[in-house]
A and B are shown apart, each in its own frame.
Chain A
Amino acid sequence: MLGAVLLGFLFSLFLVFAGSYFRGKLAVLSSLIPLSLFIYFLTFLPEIANGKVIYENYEWIPSFGVNLSFTLDGLALLFALMITGVGSLVFLYTSAYLKDHKYLDRFYGYLSMFMAAMLGLVLSDNIMSLFIFWELTSISSFYLIGFNNDKADSRKSALTALGITGIGGLLLLGGAVLLGDVAGTYRISEMVMMRDVITDSSHYLLILLLIFAAAFTKSAQFPFHFWLPGAMKAPTPVSTYLHSATMVKAGIYLLFRMTPILNGDDIWHTILIVVGAVTMVYSAIHIIFRTDLKGILAYSTISALGILVFLIGIGTQAALVAAAVFIVVHALYKASLFLITGIIDHETGTRDVTQLSGLRKVLLPVAIAGFIAALISGGVPPTLGFVGKDLIYEATLHFKDAAIFLTVLAILTKILLFYGGFVAGVKPFMGKLPQKFEKLHLPSPLMWMPPLIMTFAGIVFGIFPGLIETAFAKPIAMTQVIEFEEFHLKLWHGFNTVLGLSAITITIGVILYFTLKPKHNLENAIARLDVIAPKDLTLKLSEGFAEFSRLWTNFFQTGYLRHYISVIVAFLILLLGYLIFSDFSLTLDFSTLADLTIYEISILLMLLMGVLYTVFTKSRLAAVAALGVVGLSFSLLFLFYSAPDLAMTQFSVDTLTVILFVLVLYKLPKYLNFSNKWLRIKHGVLSVSFGILITLLILRVLKEPKNAEITEFYAENAYKLAHGKNVVNVILVDFRGIDTMIEISVLIVAALGVFGLLKLRLKTRDKK
């Protein structure tokens, strides 16, 4: 399976070098990649249908528990087949849709990268590798949405999508780490066994919220849904593949995977049902107000995703089976409708549904595909959509709480989806053909065959629902539900409540289609509400954040060294001052201190004079020299307190520092502006309080009981172990040699920094 996942990545890498050959007629060959993967995954079908689960494990970072482990069960196989199956058709379609596009190879590169990432996501058994593939899908989606990168609109949409799904990805990482921490393993198949530990842990709620946030951003749930309509700026194959059939279902997949691990508490059900219900109804209502075909499809996709979240929230076996079937249904009809929209757009140059009519006369096969897709979408028998719709009603009707209310919501959504499907799939082909479209002719079969194949599959599966049942529904139910009950998918259930509800749905849907016509003024009406829509609120939030960051940066990054130093010192004063004064009692026992000698007093006087002179002199060089006096007095003090090594080093460092200062200052002009009085007072207060604080700190340290152990160890062992009599030096080069090693490396980095900064500046100045 590793090879299957890597194939797409390898192909996109291959295109980097050999892309120029795949721009022309050979482009159609690219579809061999998803096709061969589709066949490869088909071969697993019998095994999986028998309830077998296949594991493969490749070590990657075993020390962190991060491995490339893959698992193939019913759920993974369903998604894998969907990814590669829809992928094959989309790859074929693209070769005609973007024919002779100058970046066609690039497009295929991104597309196959996406496909590989998506495959990796659904096959991963390790939650860390799942996260990595999750991010890879976001990144490849970014490139695909922004494929028309000369349009500002596309770039903005790509950025929005990346922002929303990227934040979700980060939250997923948080959830994954917590989950791995609580469960003690990063393998999803092992987490299932730790279910009780996870649901009882104190982090349970946090994990739940993180995973939900990840799934909701990726699967465009309210209020994160707005990136999806924006993402429709991408070429149609991308909308088909990423934003209806596969990527947006990654969140659904995650929720599915997490169901046996996390669904323990009512909160799981409540959140999912509420969010799913709000999303499905909210965006289903939006469909009425749209006139752009892609806009209609985008909102109906969001609505369908809402239904899936809603069903997973209900969480009974019937609901999960309904969700699994609905995933297939949705992939079949929504991908077809997108491809059909692409054909219409490609041929007529418009996607405005109010301008399109009568196209059946020129695009007959497309019209057939559109009609069947609308039937599947509306759940009209004998399509698979009918089976799917019945399962949904079945699931809501038998839920323990508020069954009637939930069923009404589901019916409302389904009616609006019916309407949306017919507007997108039937309306453009009905009525009178406008004159301007009369000269249209049918495009290459590569474009109209894929939707036709998918819609026919929808009918075949509808007549023989047993195919779906044995292949996916049962294996998924067996792995996802704790107590598995036998069930059968049927097209005809006999006369019962569900059939009645179906009939109501279809009837109202038909009435709605014939009475309600898409109009521009409706679209404009709802545009006024955009001010309070999540999209605009989020945009304002991000703009506000950027503005705040700018102000914040300007406040701290003044570019004046003295300002930086004052900030650092002030911060240290606050922090250390708080620490010291929150636990401080100053008792200084003068009797334990040695008497002051005349030498020490004179050095102290010298030091003070040096400091005062530095502060008050008006010449830079004099200030530097006075600073040198301060440094040398210190090295004398070191000498008196028997630290000759320190004294020597201090002496030479001080010499070099003074030389450095002189080098820099010597050539500068005399002081022109002195800092004003207020600034001097401010700096004075800052320096004096910092000095006092350090003094207090040292006095505090002196109060600590002395630990002579270390001193004794070094004194004893310096000669014994290291053959040296100078303990300081032995510590430096032997006992703590690695420290010294790192210190000299730091020294080198500093020197290289100075060299780089000044030499680079010199070069740019030379150029002028």
Chain B
Amino acid sequence: MRTIILKSASSYLLPVLLLFSVFILLRGHYLPGGGFVGGLVAAIAFVLDAFSNGLDKTKGILKFHPGFLMPVGLMVAFLSGISPMILADLPMMTGIWAENPIPVIGALGSPLFFDIGVYLVVIGSALTIIFTISESV
């Protein structure tokens, strides 16, 4: 599967697709999208890169094992969940929001961080499963 076309395309596609996945993640609050789909798209981006350039190169780009994204993501989601308890003395998972929206990102609040956590967990688990399987066959 290592064709020249795919190889040259993928080196440009990886950053674009990653950017796109972040875009999907952020727009999720108002329009179709969100952390889950975003995470899947990011995972696909890496898998595509692994297809054309080989698994080892992709791992080189990542610098660390994708599995580490899972606890990090779970932690982010969990912290955003308990943040209202700590910051505003509200029940767990209550959304708390910044008063003014920030340009590009939009409204900033704890659900956004929760979604980021989901995004990281999805990338981590999808890549862990796929990398592990492709290493062992």
Using CB atoms and an 8 Å cutoff, list the residues of chain A in contact with chain B. 644-645, 648-649, 652-653, 655-656, 659-660, 663-664, 666-668, 721-726, 728-730, 732-734, 737-738, 740-741, 744-745, 747-748, 750-752, 754-755, 758-759, 761-762
Contacts and interface: CB of A to CB of B under 8 A. Distances in A.
Interface residues of B, number: 51
Interface of B: 24, 28-37, 40-41, 43-44, 47, 51, 67, 70-71, 73-74, 77-78, 81, 92-93, 95, 97, 107, 109, 111-112, 114-115, 117-118, 121-122, 124-126, 128-130, 132-137
16 contacts: A645-B32, A645-B37, A656-B43, A668-B137, A723-B97, A725-B29, A726-B28, A729-B29, A730-B111, A732-B36, A738-B81, A740-B77, A750-B129, A751-B70, A754-B133, A755-B132
Contact of B41 (A652, A666, A744): A652
A652 B130 CA distance: 14
B44 A663 contact: no
A725 B30 contact: yes
Chain B CB within 10 Å, residue with most, of A730, A732, A733, A740: A733
Contact of B132 (A666, A732, A745, A759): A759
A740 B114 CA distance: 9
B111 A755 contact: no
Contacts of B134: 663
Contacts of B77: 740-741, 744
Contacts of A761: 136
Contacts, number: 146
Contact of B129 (A648, A660, A745): A660
Nearest to B115: A733
Contacts of B132: 754-755, 758-759
Given A723-B29, A726-B34, A732-B36, 11 more contacts: A645-B33, A645-B37, A648-B33, A652-B41, A659-B130, A726-B30, A740-B114, A744-B121, A751-B67, A751-B70, A751-B129
Contact of A740 (B29, B33, B118, B135): B118
Q: Closest 3 CB pairs between A and B?
A: A652-B40, A751-B125, A644-B32
Contact of A754 (B31, B97, B115, B129): B129
A499 B35 CA distance: 92
Contact of B95 (A734, A744, A752, A755): A734
A425 B126 CA distance: 77
Contact of A748 (B44, B112, B124, B130): B124
B67 A733 contact: no
Contacts of A730: 29, 111
Contacts of B67: 751-752, 755
A744 B73 contact: yes
A750 B67 CA distance: 12
Contacts of B73: 744
B81 A747 contact: no
B79 to A, nearest CB: 11
Chain B CB within 10 Å, residue with most, of A652, A666, A725, A761: A652
B133 A726 contact: no
Chain A CB within 10 Å, residue with most, of B30, B43, B73, B112: B30
Nearest to A757: B132
Given A724-B111, A729-B29, A744-B121, A649 B130 contact: no
Contact of B118 (A663, A733, A750, A751): A733
B117 A737 contact: no
Nearest to B66: A751
